[in-house]
Structure 1
Amino acid sequence: METSELLIGMTFFSLTIIAILGNFTLLYHCIYFYLTRYRLRSWVLMHLIVANIVTVLCKGVPKTIASFGFKAIFNDIGCKLFYFAHKVGRGACIGSTSFLSVFQAIIISPRNSRYSKLKVRSHKCIHCCVYLNWVIHLFTNSVYFVHLRAINGNESTTNLKSFSYCHSARHDPTSDILYAILLSGPDMVLLGLMLWASASMVLTLYRHKQMMKYMSRTNASSRSSPESRATKTILLLVSTFISFYTISSLGQFFVSVVYNPSWSLLNMVETFSILFSTVCPFLLMSPDYRTSSYLKRNRQFPKPSDIE
């Protein structure tokens, strides 16, 4: 086994262990507060965490095994299921992060803003959008069941495009570009929503800061509110996601259109595909957010009984 393969295997093994521990810890907190007192944010976070876990397990575990020299670890069905589940989980991460930022932007908007009426209806809208996001990615990523397959040890890979433990038949450049557009279309829409929500939150926080300059400063007003701290953490979460997603998406686009992608490009794309899922729970458990204490005292998110 080459040293480079060993380093890649150890990297993916470390990222997988860290991500699983962090996401399951955060999932425990979210389930606890979801059961004790209903919170819409807890519900969205649960979807995000489950998507993170699916993404890490379906990419980190097979990639670690493959990097240690066990290439033929799946048959055709296993290859397609794992790759399909990873892509669906990644899409659910995008959607959950996007809807979390949109929800936060609506909640912190001023009462006299044009989004004030959405506060009451946000509960049902976010629920529908999260479920719809799962369905859309289940549908669009079903294309992998057609084109991906495992490869036998003695089979030639000359006419196949390698994806670590799976392979795909090579297509003409036009078909590859069309497939890339089909698979990235929903993600681009969600990314646009994320950017809009982030800009809206930044503008709201800036206006609030400007307003506070003209108010008398007391001890209570000098401290940032839980909602403000949560908003800043979600902005950090979104900016981290956009950074990793942009690099990963550009890499995946080149992998899709390049006839014979290099070993370095494939490993870079696969590493960035699980970095957000690894970092995400630790951002949400950061001192600025403090998931457990924040969810306990947050009072502004309505329960279903308050909305209906």
Structure 2
Amino acid sequence: MSSLSIVLNFQAGLGVLANMFLLVFYTFIILCHRPKPMDMISSQLTFIHRVLLLTGADIWLWDISESLNIENDFKCKTNFYISRVMRGLSICVTCLLSVFQAVTISPSSPLLAKFKYKLQNHMIYAFLFIWSFNLLFSSNQIFYAGAFTNVSETKQMKVTKFCSLYSMNYIIGALILTVVTCRDVFLVGLMLASSAYMVIILLRHQRQHKHLHSLSHLRASPEKRATQTILLLVVSFVVMYWINLIISSSAVLLWMYDPVILSVQKIVMNVYPTITPLVQIISDNRIINIVKHMQSVCHQIFKKR
């Protein structure tokens, strides 16, 4: 196994464990407590990232599917389709999370209060639309992905040891590329705009209340922590998204995928799904309080012994 494969599998393993922990936490909150609308969005994002990391770990999935005697063509089509759906869902739900946060912390007004109420009550419809759109839109992967064959390599591009992408009609390819680009540019732009708006609100709030805090307290203020969390998630998503887009576009234009380039691309793709749960765990006071409570309980048990 190459060093890049080791890095990829370690990264995927860390991301899957972090997302699993967070998914269990959100499931507990949703079932046993009164969840916030933000918890519903975050739980969706956590589930999406967990599946995305698993579909990117070809070695794990291939070993499992080999034991089940599943045909290579079916495995390739399924893996490509799920991966594309989850990538689309990741950008859509991240954008929804950013916009919802911006609306939540906006200054109160009668019009905005009405909009907040509608947004919270129509959250389920937003989820249904996002999932339906991405499930339908990514269905082209079923037709243009499959097991690698030895027939005319000019008509297929090998992207893994066993799987390849087949060439498609120029008009269909251009149409799909246009829709994907428009969707991604719109969502990334909306994400950046809402995040910048949040940063402005938090910094303005911090300046207005600066005289009430000491310098040491100000450094650890919730406003500053929230700003840093938002900036980290948005910047990491946007940077990794565009790096991945450049690599993918170059490979498609050259109609060639080098194994090293493919591994690097997967590592880049997995950065955001791996970072997101770690940032959420560190920044969520409920999780921190649970960990502290568990530490105190364990300390008392060991003390009694």
TM value normalised by structure 2: 0.81
Are the equivalent residues in 2 in contact too, given 1:59–1:83 (CA < 8 A)? no
Residues 145/259 of structure 1: CA separation in 2 closer, same or farther (3 Å cut)? same
| Alpha-carbon distance change, 174 to 64 in structure 1, aligned in 2, over 3 angstroms | same
Q: Deviations over 1:48-73 (max 9, x none)?
A: 0110011011111348859xxxxx98
Task: State which drifts further: 101-110 or 254-263.
Answer: 254-263
Alignment of 1:1-308 (within 5 A): 6-35=2-31, 36-62=33-59, 75-112=72-109, 115-152=112-149, 157-164=153-160, 165-171=162-168, 176-213=173-210, 215-217=211-213, 226=222, 229-230=225-226, 232-286=228-282, 288-292=283-287
SS in 2 for 1:168: strand
Structure 2 residue ranges without an equivalent (≥5): 64-68, 291-305
Deviation at 1:173, TM superposition (A): 6.3
Amino acid of the residue matched to residue 167 of structure 2? R
Q: Deviations over 1:72-104 (max 9, x none)?
A: 985212111111101111111111211111111
CA distance in 2, matches of 1:227, 1:198: 13
Query: Displacement, 1:148?
Result: 0.8
For 1:199-229, what per-residue CA distance to the aligned partner results, in whole angstroms no more than 9, with x for missing partners?
A: 110111122122224x54489x858665764
1:212 counterpart letter in structure 2: H
Q: In the superposition, relative to structure 1, how do residues 60 and 134 fare at CA in structure 2: closer, same or farther (>3 Å)? A: same
CA positional deviation for 1:178:
3.6
Change (3 A) 1:294 1:173: farther
Residue 30 of structure 1 deviates from its aligned partner by 1.1
Q: Which residue of 2 aligns with 1:302?
A: none
What is the deviation of 1:289? 3.4
1:64–1:28: structure 2 CA closer, same or farther, 3 Å change rule? closer
Secondary structure of residue in 2 paired with 1:95: helix
- Greater fraction of residues in helix: 2
Q: Quote the offset at 1:125 in angstroms.
A: 3.6
Deviations 1:138-174 (A, max 9, x none): 111111111111125x656353211214212234766
Determine the C-alpha separation between the residues in 2 that align with 1:163 and 1:179: 19
CA contact (8 A) 2:144 2:167 kept: no
Looking at structure 2, the residues matched to 103 and 54 of structure 1 have their Cα atoms a distance apart, in angstroms, of 24
Percent identity between the two aligned chains:
26
- Alignment check: 8 A CA contact 1:19 1:279 kept: yes
CA contact (8 A) 1:44 1:100 kept: yes
What SS is found at the alignment partner of 1:117? Answer: helix
Q: SS state of the match for residue 35, structure 2? A: coil
1:3-30 CA-to-partner distances (Å, cap 9, x unmatched) read xx62232122211211111001111111
| Separation of aligned partners in 2, 1:268 and 1:244 | 11
Deviates more, 1:240-249 or 1:176-185: 176-185
Which segment drifts farther, 266-275 or 224-233?
Answer: 224-233
Q: Give 1:260 deviation, angstroms.
A: 2.2
Amino acid in the other structure paired with 2:139: S
Name the amino acid aligned to 2:144. Answer: H
Residue correspondences, number: 283
CA distance 1:77–1:37, shift in 2 (3 Å): same
Find the aligned partners of 1:232 and 1:274 in 2 and give their Cα distance: 21
